[in-house]
Structure 1
């Protein structure tokens, strides 16, 4: 871990449990457990997770992402990518195919949690290809931000 990356939450350990669903190295720091587990996820530059969908019923399955450090991307399938900077909050409605991760030139951290409800589960899909990722600006934001 670089010592030039300042963040308010712990970086945690290498994210070995979910590493197969990431391109690049991520780190996971559980912050709370219980009904609503909250985790700090840190991505090395260029690291991103696969496309995925959070499912849930009875109000559950929405994912909340709170960017706390660095610079990253969030993209829902069919939408333009959204630049994530400290203070950005994203609500991903249950059933939305999406991905998130670091920009090519920056470390990135977000706090993440899923709203509780019935049948809450995650469906991992295909990786974000190098071609898809390579079309994003290395830093900065898209014109739609």
Structure 2
């Protein structure tokens, strides 16, 4: 009789734990708030300097560069309409869009629309910009490898005409 109870109880306990875990995960999943803002999975961070951004952008460091990894990882939240200046990275940059909608453009190429789940590789020393769409904010993780080569060279602002053009 005890053996039967144990065999029956183990699957029931496992099912109950799985159900609780699933419910907890669903409650924590990031969602768009419906008002153009995104729900962050990382802290909002510090406001980006006005000399490097149009509109409001906030950055937080997730992995500081060191001599072992030589990689910088962080998160940026762009409010709707916010964008970076044109800039370059000596060793390139990888962007992972974690929520919202925005744009990325390499100088001389058409503007690309970015959505949650997109991954962008910005080649080394190539002038580009990225930011949110006019209607929705955008969350992005950035990865800057080989930081011993440098981090970023900021250039001039992206004009309203450049931002609004898909060319």
Q: Do the structures match in fold with TM over 0.5?
A: yes
CA RMSD of aligned residues (A): 1.8
Structure 2 residue matching 1:104: 3-state secondary structure = coil
| 2:61 maps to which of 20, 30, 47 | 30
Aligned residues: 128
Structure 1 residue matching 2:149: 3-state secondary structure = strand
In terms of fraction of residues, the more strand-rich structure is 1
Question: Are 1:129 and 2:159 matched, yes or no?
Answer: yes
CA distance in 2, matches of 1:135, 1:62: 24
In structure 1, list runs of 5 or more residues that go unmatched.
56-60, 137-141
Q: CA deviation at 1:121?
A: 3.6
Pick the structure with greater CA Rg. 2
Q: Which residue of 1 aligns with 2:87?
A: 52
Q: CA deviation at 1:23?
A: 0.4
CA distance in 1, matches of 2:43, 2:158: 26
In structure 2, list runs of 5 or more residues that go unmatched.
1-31
From the superposition, tell whether residues 14 and 105 of structure 1 become closer, same or farther in structure 2 (CA, over 3 Å). Answer: same
Q: Which residue of 2 aligns with 1:90?
A: 120
CA distance in 2, matches of 1:135, 1:76: 13
In terms of fraction of residues, the more helix-rich structure is 2
TM-score by length of 2: 0.71
